[in-house]
Every structure is written in C-alpha cells, then in structure tokens.
Amino acid sequence: MVRGPTYSMPHRRRRERRTDYEKRSALVISGLPRMVVRASSKHTSVQFVEAKPQGDQVHAAAKSTELGELAWKYGGGNLPAAYLTGMLAGLRAIKKGLHKAILDIGLRRVSKGARVFSALKGAVDAGVEIPHDKEVLPSDARVKGEHIASYAKKLSTDPERYRAQFSGYLSRRLKPEDLPSVFEKAKERIASLGKEPQKETRK
C-alpha cells in the first residue's frame, strides 16, 4: 500500500498495533526497569523488564494463573486478581533487588481504575516505587471486589438473574458475596511470601 516515494513502512509490531516505539523509547530512556502489565478478558500478567542491547531481560514476573495456588479461586479477569498479580510480581521484583520501576501499559488508553492500575497498586503496596497519579488507581473497595459482592447481594432477590450473571462462579461452587474475604486471605498468603529470606540483591 505505497503512498509515495518517501513513504516509510512502519515496523511490523507497530502495524499490528502491538508496540508504540516512540512511547517505548521514552520508557527505556528513563533508565528504570519497566513494569509491563498486560490484561486480557480472562488473565493478567506482570513483568519487570530491563532493556538490554541484546534484548529485554525479565527479572521478575507473575501471572494471574498462579493465584489458584495462593488461595484465590475467582479467576484472573477482574480487579482483585490484577491487584494480587501485581503484588506477587512486585514482591518478586523486590527480592531481585528491583525497588524502582516505570509503568508500561503498552497501547492501552489510560482509563481511571482499570485493571492495569489495579496491578500497579498491588506492586506499589508490595514496596516497589513507581511514579503514578493516585487519581488513576481504583479504590480499596473495588480492589477487594466489594462492588462485585454488593451487586451479587442486590441480585440475590432475583434468583434467575443471579444465576445467569454469576454462572461461572456458581458452577465452581463459589459465592460472589464471599469474594472480598477470599481476597483478604489471598493477599495475606502472598504477603507472607515477602517475609521469606531474600536472595542476594543487585547493587
């Protein structure tokens, strides 16, 4: 699709809308490791990545699929799961000696309270220093899933709608009303990992 003799073909990943090279360059120039957050409809992943001449080096990472072994059973596509994933990755980054980072949300538009910022909040609470505007972070209540539990209680007066809305949870014998308490247990379990002996840190 030629547009003239001076037309320059964009890089493949830019054409595929996977990488904004101008934005990425600014992040790399910062000199800080990038906290790379990617979220799909069902999962969240977080990586702490450092740019090297030979390519990106991943120092610490976590995926929401790991949360099932840490007392969390409500899937990886919601705000609480994003927070827990960010916290888990943040604790792992701290153990590797990474105490500062800069957020990389890829091509996503900034949306207040989004899952990427829930993951950011989790990493910050784990102890990683990441520049951010507090206004974009979701509230503590939403991070805990209280909005989900509240909506479930409201729908409980209409059993048909309740079953239709929360069929995924109910099929696994999970009550959406219990989500905040399960979140707290999972958070405590993940936080306990940060109290384990640390490995030698980078200087």
DSSP state string for 10-21: PPHHHHTTS--H
Cα 71 from Cα 138, distance rounded (Å) = 22
CB-based contacts of 82, cutoff 8 Å, min separation 6: 37, 39, 44, 64, 76, 115, 116, 118, 119, 122
- What does the block give as tokens for 124? 């910050």
pLDDT at 51 over 90: no
Q: Which residues pair with 39 in a beta bridge?
A: 44
More confident residue, 98 or 55: 98
At 132-173, the pLDDT tens digits run 999 999 999 999 999 999 999 999 999 999 999 999 999 999
Task: Calculate what percentage of the chain has a pLDDT beyond 90.
Answer: 72
- From residue 90, give the alpha-carbon distance in Å to each of 7, 76, 119, 155: 43, 17, 9, 36
Encode 117-180 in three state secondary structure.
HHHHHHHHHHCCECCCCHHHCCCHHHHCCHHHHHHHHHHCCCHHHHHHHCHHHHHCCCCHHHHH
* Band of pLDDT at residue 194, cut at 50, 70 and 90: confident
DSSP letter (8 states) at residue 100 = B
Average pLDDT of the segment spanning 111-125: 95
pLDDT at 50 over 70: yes
Per-residue model confidence (pLDDT) at position 8: 53
Per-residue model confidence (pLDDT) at position 3: 57
State if pTM tops 0.85: no
Which range, of 12-16, 71-75, 127-131, 143-147, averages the lowest pLDDT? 12-16
pLDDT at 20 over 70: no
Place of tokens 């505007």: 133
Total number of residues shown for the chain: 203
